[in-house]
Amino acid sequence: MDQTTEKKEKKDIPVNIYRPNSPFVGKCISNESLLRPGAPGDTRHVKFDISGGDLRYLEGQSIGVIPPGEDKNGKPHKIRLYSIASTRHGDDIDDKTVSLSVRRLEYKHPETGETVYGVCSNFICDLKPGDDVQITGPVGKEMLLPEDPDANIIMIATGTGIAPFRAFLWRMFKEKHDDYKFNGLAWLFFGVATDSSILYKADLDWLQYKNERNFRLDYALSREQKNAKGEKMYVQHRMAQYADELWELLQKPNTHGYICGLKGMESGIDEFMIDTAAKSGVHWKDYEKQMKKEGRWHIETY
Q: 57, 258, 260, 287: which one is catalytic?
A: 260
CATH architecture of 3-139: Beta Barrel (2.40)
Q: 117, 180, 209, 302: which one is catalytic?
A: 302
Any idea what the Cα angle at residue 134 is, between residues 103 and 141, rounded to 5°?
Answer: 70
Which of 22-31, 100-109, 110-119 has the highest average model confidence (pLDDT)? 22-31
pLDDT tens per residue, range 12-62? 899 999 999 999 999 999 999 999 998 889 999 999 999 999 999 999 999
At the topology level, CATH places domain 152-301 in Rossmann fold (3.40.50)
- What average pLDDT is seen over the chain? 93
Q: 83, 86, 101, 222: which one is catalytic?
A: 83
Q: Is 222 among the catalytic positions?
A: no
Are the CB atoms for 77 and 68 separated by under 8 Å? yes
pLDDT at res. 240: 95
pLDDT tens per residue, range 126-164? 999 999 999 999 999 999 999 999 999 999 999 999 999
Q: Is 196 among the catalytic positions?
A: no
Question: How large is the average pLDDT for residues 176-204?
Answer: 93
Q: Is the pLDDT of residue 250 over 50?
A: yes
| Percent of the chain predicted with pLDDT > 90 | 84
Short-list 158, 95, 154, CA closest to 276:
154
Are the CB atoms for 65 and 26 separated by under 8 Å? no
pLDDT at res. 7: 40
pLDDT tens per residue, range 56-65? 999 999 999 9
pLDDT at res. 224: 83
pLDDT at res. 228: 87
Question: DSSP string of the chain?
Answer: --HHHHHHHHHTS---SBBTTB-EEEEEEEEEE-PPTT-SS-EEEEEEE-TTS-----TT-EEEEE-SSB-TTSPBPPPEEEEB-S-TTTTTTSS-EEEEEEEPPEEE-TTT--EEE-HHHHHHHT--TT-EEEEEEEE-STTPPPS-TT-EEEEEEEGGGGHHHHHHHIIIIIS--SS----S-EEEEEEESSGGG-TTHHHHHHHHHHTTTTEEEEEEETTT-B-TTSSB--HHHHHHTTHHHHHHHHTSTTEEEEEEE-TTHHHHHHHHHHHHHHTTT--HHHHHHHHHHTT-EEEEE-
Question: Is-same-fold flag (3-139; 152-301)?
Answer: no
Q: Is 18 among the catalytic positions?
A: no
pLDDT at res. 176: 80
Question: How large is the average pLDDT for residues 249-258?
Answer: 97
Q: Is 28 among the catalytic positions?
A: no
CA atoms lying within 13 Å on the CB side of residue 128: 0
C-alpha torsion 118→33→171→254, nearest 10: 60
Q: Is 114 among the catalytic positions?
A: no
| Percent of the chain predicted with pLDDT > 70 | 96
Say which residue, 298 or 5, is predicted with more confidence.
Answer: 298
Q: Supply φ then ψ for residue 164, to 5 degrees.
A: -65, -30
Question: How large is the average pLDDT for residues 204-227?
Answer: 94
pLDDT at res. 113: 87
Question: How large is the average pLDDT for residues 65-69?
Answer: 97
Q: Is the pLDDT of residue 2 over 50?
A: no
Distance CA(246)–CA(145), nearest Å, equals 19
pLDDT at res. 11: 55
Q: 18, 28, 62, 82: which one is catalytic?
A: 82
pLDDT tens per residue, range 225-243? 998 889 899 999 999 999 9
| Domains in the chain: boundaries | 3-139, 152-301
Q: Is the pLDDT of residue 255 over 80?
A: yes
